[in-house]
Amino acid sequence: MATTGTDMSRMREMNQLSIVGALRGNPPSTVTELASRSGLSRPAVDVLVQSLVADGWAEVEEPGASSVVGRPARRYRFRATAGHVLGIDIGVHKILVILSDLEGNLVRTVRHPAAPEAAPAERLAAVDRVVDEVLASAGMAAGDIWAVTVGVTGPVDRSGRTSLSSPLPGWSEADPAAHLGTRFSCPVQVENDCKLAAVAERWRGVAQDADDIVYLLAGLRTGAGLILDGTLRRGHGGAAGEIGALKAVRWLTAPDHLQSCPGMPATAAEGEAAAWVFQAARDGDRDARTAVRRYTRDLAVGVAALVLALDPQVVVYGGGFSRSADVVLGPLHRELTKHCLRMPELRASTLGDESVALGAVRLALDEVDSRLLSDGLAAPTAPRR
Amino acid sequence: MATTGTDMSRMREMNQLSIVGALRGNPPSTVTELASRSGLSRPAVDVLVQSLVADGWAEVEEPGASSVVGRPARRYRFRATAGHVLGIDIGVHKILVILSDLEGNLVRTVRHPAAPEAAPAERLAAVDRVVDEVLASAGMAAGDIWAVTVGVTGPVDRSGRTSLSSPLPGWSEADPAAHLGTRFSCPVQVENDCKLAAVAERWRGVAQDADDIVYLLAGLRTGAGLILDGTLRRGHGGAAGEIGALKAVRWLTAPDHLQSCPGMPATAAEGEAAAWVFQAARDGDRDARTAVRRYTRDLAVGVAALVLALDPQVVVYGGGFSRSADVVLGPLHRELTKHCLRMPELRASTLGDESVALGAVRLALDEVDSRLLSDGLAAPTAPRR
């Protein structure tokens, strides 16, 4: 069969993608190194990498003064700033937006407080303001963004809505994908916050070595995100991880134990009460330790249900309460031992409250990568939906 | 680069495998049909299929008398009887062994009752007797078997033991793989009964269309098997699906509601009581209907935990109680609606008590297929461990 022009062009594109793959995640590389990584010939790599530089996908690392005798070989690197993505966490108490380049280098992180009682339009207007601030401070426009992922609380259906349940007032009617779609022409996806935080732990957190992960988003509400065989478990209708909705597993009421405790200042606000209890427990206060033990005893029922159902390698304790993992993990481990046939490792998240936005960045980067594979390498511009 | 003899031989093997793939699961096929399915040339297919016939992997379908003018084209089929596999269900009350050819045609099914209190050595001796009977009645020897899969109750670790828990007396010390390994030189694997039954439902049962399945093995004990994204979920330590061990989800006690009911004959044995209650409920007996409702109310807690955690497409009600699905599924559906955010489809198994052995046959056939892919097509003989 004769090779057609289309075949040739597709083959060239595949070879370019293989050079991009050989550049990414590596230090600046010589043509010889790229040839060895890609399996292509040195002369072919030379031509391909020149065209990637011309198109804006790669750049030359100018050789610095070095002690090497003779002219050092020219080195190339992936031009990570060719495009950028946004990870947006629309939380109950905060809006957090992270701007990242194509290599996952975080360029800007901006956070504004949000009012728990804010209506959807108000909350989305606040999102717009944070996005404006991020883009302006980075000197960018909406057209420079290649993919946007938004994290929200509650199970997210295929349309990006949380119609089944949401703790945000009126939010089940909100359509954040459509709202952001009016200013961004690139793909905009919406995902559940616990799922994104789980993705973040496997990407940059404490579960990078694990393929089977139960992630707990622990705070005044408790949620779960599941990664099984290395893949985020979304569920047939996007509602995986919602075990906390079942009364019998006690997540609905577990944090109540942290809301009152003898000796707590009457002035402590809802969000501060738990922090006070955790600190008092850390300081050895007996009542506070009892409150934390009751919290972990109830929390452990739902965790044990997930562990017994899925037999994960790792359980990650994340979310707002993970700052107090030092007083939670011990009692939680003891409680789980009572219920479970096989104990997983229990680890505390270190990503703090950026985990949801960070997972959103990761999914947005995945979206860019899948577009590269399916659409190939035109000169770098934002993809369109 | 010159093509070496090894390359040639490997390429020939890959082409033979592709012809085997084109033969399997299809009606007897002509060389032209095989060429079209495999993408290989007609003359190449002709040579390959002749050698498959010579080796015993394929056979000629002799053309019958037909009304077609001229000599009909010779047709070939995969020789499904080139090898056989065994699926063995070592249950509490029965030993069930199924002999299947390489296409999954069931050649023999033999069942013996077992004593719940039998010690492991006694139970394994009973397995030997049923295997003897199956092989003898099919005129076969152990060397004719290419793979054996054994289903047992309790979570199975990598060594094939159920050291974490088992309802069979002394069974946590038993090593069925080693026992069967003394007579079979082919691969012998051990797997949990609920997991095998789940596999059977997706292969030949009511969940053939689904990739996300929660399977319930419902009887005097309740167990679960999970298929997620089309893959059997084993768990990091083989203990996935064991949610029933958690008291809070009520599976440990749910069947107790079916063990006593006003009007039940005092003579009803443990295994017969539930059947009596189901029949009485079917006949409209008010007390029996209450008992069934209480059973489903408790059962639903654990099922809801799995549904909320995993958001499956289908929940299959299988196991011994599935014969009474007609009186269970209605109340179970109503109870689940109270707990779940998104309702999956609820279906009754139709595989009866052969599901575990049938799933064992499927895993044994998968084992044979993976050996074919890795070891290639020598003349058909049983693989060795």
Q: What is the pLDDT of residue A257?
A: 95
Of B237, B304, B311, the CB nearest to A235: B311
Q: What is the pLDDT of residue A180?
A: 96
What's the token pair of residue A73? 């070989």
- CATH fourth-level superfamily of B83-197+355-375: ATPase, nucleotide binding domain (3.30.420.40)
Which residues of chain A approach chain B closer than 8 Å at the C-beta? Answer: 155, 164-165, 212, 224, 226, 228-229, 231, 233-250, 301, 304-306, 308-313, 339-342, 344
CA distance B215 to chain A (A): 12
The per-residue pLDDT for range B315-328, each reduced to its tens digit, is 999 999 999 999 99
Nearest CA in chain B to A237: B311
Nearest CA in chain B to A233: B310
Q: What is the pLDDT of residue B69?
A: 62
ipTM above 0.95, yes or no: no
A318 confidence band (pLDDT: 50, 70, 90): very high
The per-residue pLDDT for range B191-242, each reduced to its tens digit, is 999 999 999 999 999 999 999 999 999 999 999 999 999 999 999 999 999 9
Q: What is the CATH topology of the domain spanning A5-78? A: Arc Repressor Mutant, subunit A (1.10.10)
Q: What is the pLDDT of residue A267?
A: 72
CA distance B231 to chain A (A): 10
Residues shown for chain A: 385
Q: Of B278 and A166, which is predicted with more confidence?
A: B278
Question: Is residue A177's pLDDT more than 80?
Answer: yes
Average pLDDT of A304-315?
98
The dihedral through the CA atoms of A335, A336, A340, A343 has a sign that is: negative
Q: Of A265 and A314, which is predicted with more confidence?
A: A314
The per-residue pLDDT for range B153-186, each reduced to its tens digit, is 999 998 899 888 788 888 888 999 999 999 999 9
Q: What is the pLDDT of residue B133?
A: 97
Distance CA B56, CA B52 (A): 6
In chain A, domain spans: 5-78, 83-197+355-375, 209-350
Distance CA A195, CA A214 (A): 10
Average pLDDT, chain A: 91
The per-residue pLDDT for range B8-21, each reduced to its tens digit, is 677 777 888 889 88
Query: Taking CB atoms and an 8 Å limit, are B310 and A246 in contact across chains?
Result: no
Q: What is the pLDDT of residue B246?
A: 96
Amino acid at B236: H
Nearest to A365 by CA among A179, A175, A107: A107
Q: What is the pLDDT of residue A2?
A: 44
- Beta-carbon pairs below 8 A across chains A and B: 129
Poorest-confidence range of A61-75, A152-166, B131-145, B151-165? A61-75
* Residues of A with Cβ-Cβ distance to B243 under 8 angstroms: 305, 308-309
Q: What is the pLDDT of residue B134?
A: 98
CA distance A158 to chain B (A): 13
Q: Is A258 within 8 Å of A274 (Cβ atoms)?
A: yes
- Would the CATH topology of B5-78 be identical to that of B210-350? no
* B210-350 belongs to CATH 3.20.20.70: no
Q: What is the pLDDT of residue B2?
A: 44
* Residues of A with Cβ-Cβ distance to B223 under 8 angstroms: none
Nearest CA in chain A to B162: A341
Query: Taking CB atoms and an 8 Å limit, are B242 and A304 in contact across chains?
Result: no
Phi–psi pair at A184, nearest 5 degrees: -110, 130
Bridge pairing between strands B231-232 and B314-318: unpaired
Average pLDDT, chain B: 91
* Residues of B with Cβ-Cβ distance to A212 under 8 angstroms: 235-236
A164 confidence band (pLDDT: 50, 70, 90): confident
What's the CA angle centered on B344, arms A302 and B206, to 5 degrees? 120
The per-residue pLDDT for range A88-133, each reduced to its tens digit, is 999 989 999 999 999 999 999 999 999 989 999 999 999 999 999 9
Nearest to A240 by CA among B25, B214, B244: B214
The dihedral through the CA atoms of A228, A229, A231, A237 has a sign that is: negative
Mutate: best of B311, B337, B345, B346, partner A, most A CBs <10 A: B311
Poorest-confidence range of A191-195, A361-365, B64-68, B238-242? B64-68
Which residues have CB under 8 Å from B47's CB, separation 6+? none
Question: Is residue A65's pLDDT more than 60?
Answer: no
Q: What is the CATH topology of the domain spanning A209-350? A: Nucleotidyltransferase; domain 5 (3.30.420)
Nearest CA in chain B to A343: B237
**How much of chain A exceeds pLDDT 70, in percent?**
92
**How much of chain B exceeds pLDDT 70, in percent?**
92
Q: What is the pLDDT of residue B208?
A: 97
A142 confidence band (pLDDT: 50, 70, 90): very high
Burial (CB < 10 A; 0-12, 13-18, 19+), residue B119, is: middle
Question: Is residue B66's pLDDT more than 60?
Answer: no
